[in-house]
A and B are shown apart, each in its own frame.
Chain A
């Protein structure tokens, strides 16, 4: 009872700071807003409010004394939080809530409210003590962060959706590209076959040996290109081409085509992938050299061996074709034939160096080609 009276006295006397009860004086002077309510009076009215409370809410002491705290609530105050406070008070428990309150002038502030019951030694409820802290800045930050987070998450979701869509578009485009590539590849192969067949059929109608020989040479060149195209896209990488696989096919085809059993072949091949665009010109070069070796090296009744070596030499692809046949006559060496010219020109296209030498017996031809095309001037 004494304690209760002491509160009233200090309030009523409006004593100066630091006088009377030092605890009461501290509560009066603190910058934290504090009030005391009396649950034993009807509607649990405010019986004490310090200056900080009045300053925070904008009310005068006369306006707050004897009133229930709910006058601080307004239309946007969260009813659920109010219910939490009410339930805690009914259960005589302490409670801590952030709640939107209204000042006397109608403006709002976020109030970090803490209420705790004061119970005496006999277990009787005497007061409620409440402290208030204006946490509007913190709340605004929280709202801002939350809004930023929402905006960010929405942006991420949006971007993810865009990426998924463009991934799907890319996959579709890639599939279309692959389909088109196969379609074109198929058509090229078929057309190569048709060109060869047309020449072949024409050949059957020609009795003249000279013209037949000429057409046969043309067919052989077309078929060398066919051999290249047959090898295309058989490996996974459409941009590269294995020289050795092609040389193996070509040597075999050309020697079988002679129908001669006395020409043997000897292959020493290392797998070398070259860019696909080099395949056709290289094939034509090798075809000329091999055809030459068979024609000039092994005329009727003279058999022997054609050795073909494919080697990687640093950045160079080295193709060596050696026969132990008759050797080129002086006439063949000096007379610039169309086949020879073809080899020289194709060699220039491929930046390759071709050397023809006597192998005693026979002829040795070496094609040294940079695997990757060099830039002009470098």
Chain B
């Protein structure tokens, strides 16, 4: 064997820990990716379901007090560990929350819930859910819970009935000609029907404006992809801004030109916005023949452009905050990968936010780029208005102004440092 064939193996072994790019791609990235996968999809289903409840049930007098089975039902939901219960005052509020995805599913306890059960008549629980593929899981869990509660009611009713029937039989055994009085027959029939399923479920499927349809889902993911592109392009510009110009030698030329430092940054920013714009437009155009269906109007289109612009400016600024750590192109690449990939998952760009675990959802709601992209989604797939989207994005807009401004200061410092030689 010629040792020469192992020369590259030698180089690879030596490079593994010394070259950060290789270390990242060979070891750090797969671990990171796997960790995220486990965190996001490791559990077969979300641990708790956020259920919105409207409890309209009225208490019923039971001799020594009052009884409100609606309260008992909601309490049982809370104690089950399956649900995080959010109470609403009206059915409209509940439906609105379901439509906006603020709760996974809605439950309405009717005002005659207790009285119906006390009269051994069927009580009706209404379940409100979105007509989406992923709502079926929430429905089946909720229905399962209602059924279990219904079974509990049945068992108790049977126990009460047994006590009553046993007493009746004892009182009437002396009378051999005793038979069930005819006026009791219909009651007994209703009782048997009741105990088959004391609580029944009615379902109302809400039609989400778009996202429930195939077209809506495809638009939903296309918007997510726009977020990913904005993330990668913007972050890359921010992190590489100065280091790339130094490497290419263009910094020398720019420094000797009449351009001011902020003008060069503006030029870079515009170039980045151009790339982001082209990329988003390409995604949009590509998604149309694939069936994506957007709630597009002049207003929503304008707001979409504005929100993506805000998201891009934020991420450029965010990249500039990281730029001082990128002292070499290799370091810049490593930082870029280390930051961009986790955000891609944590920010709810690749996976719908509502499928993410709650702690990730919090990040996705708070992270400015995710928030602007979510606002675009709400507009283009849930049918929210441009003003709502802009209002929802206000914290992201404020964060963008702050982060970009700090980014400009850092950029100027880096350029000044480069000027020092």
Say whether A associates with B.
no
